[in-house]
Structure 1
Amino acid sequence: MKEIQKGPKGIFFDVDDTLYDHLQPLRQALNSELALEGDFPYEAVYHRFRYYSDALSARHGGVNAAGAERDLQEMRVKRVMLALAEFRIDVTRAEAARIQDQYLREQFHISPFPGAVELIRSLQAAGHVVGLITNGPAEHQMAKIKALAMDRVIQPENIFISGAVGYDKPDPRLFTQVNEVTGTTAANSFYIGDSWRNDVVGALEAGWNAFWFNHRHVKPESAHQPHYSAVNYQELASVLLP
């Protein structure tokens, strides 16, 4: 890791699996709909679930935009079926839809990772522009942000949801628009996220400083090199705070 230079910066966080444990809602949904053994590999399924979510969204393009609700639902059901099939669990479309519906309901029973709110408030107090950049439909993602009470911490003009902006991560135009709206520059902006493809690659391709929040200890998916890595908010704070 290189040392971060002093002075005001733009510091933006991903939401899903960066501000809170994104596996928890999926675990609850799978448990409610399927008869699973105690040693079921929830985290492995979660990784494939996220993979298919990103891959199918990228293939479609604009799936989170207003007016694409039917395509979004189709993608969501398909990702459940494809992820579970890799673990020899075949579900019907109706069963996958029920799992998806329960998963969405569980996403509103969430809380931030320990230290997340404290770090954000400290960064704001230090004079940095602090915000959120997240993929998803505007209304749905905002509901999760409110469930986390992040709307009380982050100024609304610094919250960027791809469904409202018009670009999904890893599209560098999303990051460029964030810079334009917030008056920050790419060279002095930092993005913190768990997804290699969306967050690390997306930030790097936009000329930002990429901070990989690799709390699940997964391997890189390409030759890209994040500027920083951390596995918890204590590590993030040790680098980001002066």
Structure 2
Amino acid sequence: MSIEEWKRNGPKKAVFFDLNGTLIDPEASYEAALAREIRELAARSSAADRSEWEREALAQYRKERQRLTAGPTARRTVEAKALLRRACLAKAVSALPVPRSSAFLLKLDRAIKESLESDPRLYAGTLQALEAIGRGRKIALISNGSRLRLEGRVKRARLEAFFPPARLFTAGAGQRGKPHPDLFQQALETLSLSPSDAMMVGDSRTKDTAGALRVGMDACWFRPGKLSTVTAVRRPGGWLLQAGSLQQLAHVLE
């Protein structure tokens, strides 16, 4: 099966996206926030080499992350990711003249998370890809987070022009989030779409793509940097695509 076979089903009238991990790059956001916090620590220090703190911390963080995520067995649960980041954070500050206690690392990790919420970073090329994908079709967000938090993140990520409030879908009171069909069906009904008219794009196979396929939508599993081309296979419920970048997806949707 191929992309060409998938294309024979006709163009999509709408594309739904997950936000974090699909449009927002969590790792780039975390590194930018880490750099800001390290600069603040350096500004409060009288150490002679403090001008090198940011460079050294980021280098150590990246090196440790690469070491710990090497191989196909790296776990991707929320808990595993949190532990991974704390381990990398500990390595990042290991050569700096700062406390190394668990309490200090926990406090620093919290400060970084607060900082990254205020300035989320998009994957490279996201704005251009959204412009291309949204040309002649509807685009919207489907998120398991609260509506208030989603609106805030959209604003801080400067995505309001693409996703006005009417194009944001979150689980309300008594409603189940992804992968349950409720949220997908709500989005489809609100935009007057049939499942075959739309596609869901997300980085979670269990929540984004599996949930979309359950209601009869096609889905694209977003795997940033992992694929050089878009693949497509037929699954029960619809087609499952895989893409390594949003630019790749925009190209096949043309």
TM-score, normalised relative to structure 2: 0.66
| Structure 1 segments of 4+ aligned residues over 4 angstroms from their partners | 28-33, 81-95
Structure 2 counterparts to residues 87-236 of structure 1, below 5 A: 92=102, 95-96=105-106, 98-126=108-136, 128-162=137-171, 166-217=175-226, 225=235, 227-236=240-249
2:20 alignment partner in structure 1? 16
Structure 1 residues 90-99 or 146-155, which shifts more? 90-99
2:53 alignment partner in structure 1? none
User: What is the alpha-carbon distance in structure 1 between the residues aligned to residue 193 and residue 242 of structure 2?
Assistant: 22
Is 2:16–2:200's contact at 8 Å kept on the other side of the alignment?
A: yes
Is 1:81–1:93's contact at 8 Å kept on the other side of the alignment?
A: no
Deviations 1:109-163 (A, max 9, x none): 234333322333333332x221111222322222111122211122321111346
1:239 alignment partner in structure 2? 252
Percent of aligned pairs with the same residue?
24
The one-letter code matched in structure 1 to 2:126 is: A
Change in CA separation of 1:27 and 1:179 when aligned onto 2, cut-off 3 Å: same
**Structure showing greater Rg:** 2
User: What is the alpha-carbon distance in structure 2 between the residues aligned to residue 18 and residue 97 of structure 1?
Assistant: 28
Is 2:65–2:84's contact at 8 Å kept on the other side of the alignment?
A: no
How many residues align structurally? 209
Deviations 1:74-107 (A, max 9, x none): xxxxx73587479999985784365134213213
Deviations 1:14-58 (A, max 9, x none): 11121121112334556758x78352116839x75x5126x9xxx
TM-score, normalised relative to structure 1: 0.69
